[in-house]
Amino acid sequence: MKVDELRVLEADELSMRMKTARRELYELRFKHAVGQLENSTQISKVRHDIARIMTVLRERDFGIGPSEPQELEAAAVAVAEAPAEAPAEEEVVEAKPKRGRRAKKKEESE
């Protein structure tokens, strides 16, 4: 599961996925304790999925990302329709060379 897929989902669907992921983690830990789990990397994958879901939920709480999927689509359309601006001319400024220890000693000895 990718973060982009999670950002499109509604809040209730995210909470449902969180419940199923936590239940799956519980079952995997139980199987691991009993010795029935063949692939222990599944535990870390589920933990990462839970972290991704929690990250998306916290982003919405803080208002970092779009709170609803419709806002995500509207933002993508707005970015696609924005006209490209001409790059501004930048002034070229010559940087002074950094003085190292050797350069300092040369200047003092002269």
pLDDT on residue 28: 96
- Would the pLDDT of 91 be above 90? no
Per-residue pLDDT band at 1 (split at 50, 70, 90): confident
Written as six digits, the tokens of 68 are 């609803």
* pLDDT above 60 (res 76): no
Q: What residue type is 91 in one-letter code?
A: E
pLDDT at residue 25, as a whole number: 97
Residue 109 has pLDDT above 80, yes or no: no
Please, which residues have CB within 8 angstroms of residue 100's CB and are 6 or more apart in sequence?
A: none
65: left (phi over 0), alpha (psi -120 to 50) or beta: beta
Confidence of residue 69 (pLDDT cuts 50, 70, 90): low
Instruction: In whole angstroms, give the CA distance from residue 14 to residue 30.
Output: 24
